[in-house]
A = this chain, B = another copy of it.
Amino acid sequence: MGAPFKARLGANENIFGPSPKAIAAMQHAMSGIWMYGDPESYDLRHALAGFHNVDPANIVVGEGIDGLLGYLARLVVESGDAVVTSEGAYPTFNYHVAGYGGVLHKVPYNDDHESLPALIAKAAEVDAKLVYFANPDNPMGTWVSGVSIMAALEDLPEGTLLVLDEAYVEFAPEGTAVEVDIEDPRLIRMRTFSKAYGMAGARVGYAMGATDLIRNFEKIRNHFGMNRAAQAGALAALEDQSWLTETCSKVSQARARIGQIARDNGFRTLPSATNFVAIDCGRDGAFAKSVLDGLVSRGVFVRMPFVAPQNRCIRVSCGPEDNLALLAQALPAVLAELG
């Protein structure tokens, strides 16, 4: 529209932003930006290893989860290989799989949840190399317990690897992240500094898994791909867990506020363990799209799921009150216009 959005609530970014210590670390790092970053991300990887109580050899740092998903697809997927995901789940995963010639098999959501048992059953049926499962889920914000994931894994076929995308897990209730022997060869976990840590623009993600699997990334990754300042920022962000706690508290309040705004307009929201909330517009995708268009035309950027019946919802990121007040103001006007 040629003008910036007044409220940027659509890109699943964390408007509360990163720790001031992370910002300071990145700004300070600029004096050394003439040097390449450490190709091993040694300091960051060791700090993450300590944080997760694993060995540094269990962690690979990459250019966001997107970059790591691309590397993983390259490592695992050959032309014609079957891969399983949910209908309407993360499109970038599908992009990478298709790019390496994988054949995607999609399983519908079950009651607005990605269903790991159904995904695993499909994997057995099609002899899948990879199964993608996000917990918490994007775009619905729903989640399951880590314990239920480990239970479902008992049925994972031999030769299938679970990609567990935990991009939003820091926002989720305790017990959502899996507790797993890091050398368990059945799964690889993806984490990021883009969401709870508020550094989407820095491009820092990491994968955790068995040593043998993680080692394989060394054969293909862009060794000097990491921005040097981003490495320093992620390290500082990790060390400031009190900021993370505060962010999660603000996000929790914002989720409640979005819920209230929805109810004030006759809508319900889905329970969310992420920094966004799916507002159920109660009718079909066309109606949700018209609500979305009305908000966007008023400068409130939101998005919506791609497929039915999840596309009856719009997805609204959490943010500070001034952002949500714009939503509260725009939504009744949009609905009045729609009649």
Write the residues of chain A forming the contact surface with B, with a CB cutoff of 8 angstroms: 8, 11, 13-18, 23, 26-27, 29-37, 63-64, 66-67, 70, 92, 99, 194, 198-203, 219-220, 222-230, 233
A200–B13 CB distance below 8 A: no
A227's partner among B32, B220, B230 (CB-CB below 8 A) is: B230
B70–A222 CB distance below 8 A: yes
Q: Please list 18 pairs of residues, one from A and one from B, whose beta carbons are closer than 8 Å in the complex, sorted by A's number.
A: A8-B35, A13-B36, A14-B34, A15-B34, A18-B34, A23-B30, A26-B229, A32-B201, A33-B233, A64-B224, A64-B225, A67-B222, A70-B222, A202-B228, A203-B224, A227-B227, A227-B229, A227-B230
A66–B34 CB distance below 8 A: no
A33's partner among B8, B29, B201, B223 (CB-CB below 8 A) is: B201
A201–B8 CB distance below 8 A: no
Distance in angstroms between the alpha carbons of A132 and B123 in the assembled complex: 42
Please tell me how many copies of the chain the complex holds. 2
Q: Residues of B contacting A198 with CB < 8 Å?
A: 33-34
Distance in angstroms between the alpha carbons of A29 and B17 in the assembled complex: 12
In angstroms, how far is the closest chain B Cβ from the Cβ of A221?
A: 9
Q: Residues of B contacting A224 with CB < 8 Å?
A: 64, 66, 92, 203
A33–B23 CB distance below 8 A: yes
B66–A225 CB distance below 8 A: yes
A203's partner among B17, B29, B70, B225 (CB-CB below 8 A) is: B225
Distance in angstroms between the alpha carbons of A198 and B317 in the assembled complex: 37
Q: Residues of B contacting A201 with CB < 8 Å?
A: 29, 32-37, 227-229
Distance in angstroms between the alpha carbons of A228 and B200 in the assembled complex: 9
Closest 3 interchain pairs by CB?
A201-B228, A227-B227, A33-B201
Q: Residues of B contacting A35 with CB < 8 Å?
A: 8, 11, 13, 200-201
Q: Can you name the residue of chain B whose Cβ is closest to the Cβ of A33? A: B201
Known contacts A70-B222, A220-B99, A227-B203; is-contact A18 B36 (Cβ 8 Å): no
In angstroms, how far is the closest chain B Cβ from the Cβ of A229?
A: 7
Q: Residues of B contacting A223 with CB < 8 Å?
A: 66, 92
A64–B222 CB distance below 8 A: yes
Known contacts A27-B27, A63-B63; is-contact A33 B202 (Cβ 8 Å): yes
Distance in angstroms between the alpha carbons of A227 and B193 in the assembled complex: 13
Q: Residues of B contacting A200 with CB < 8 Å?
A: 33-36, 228
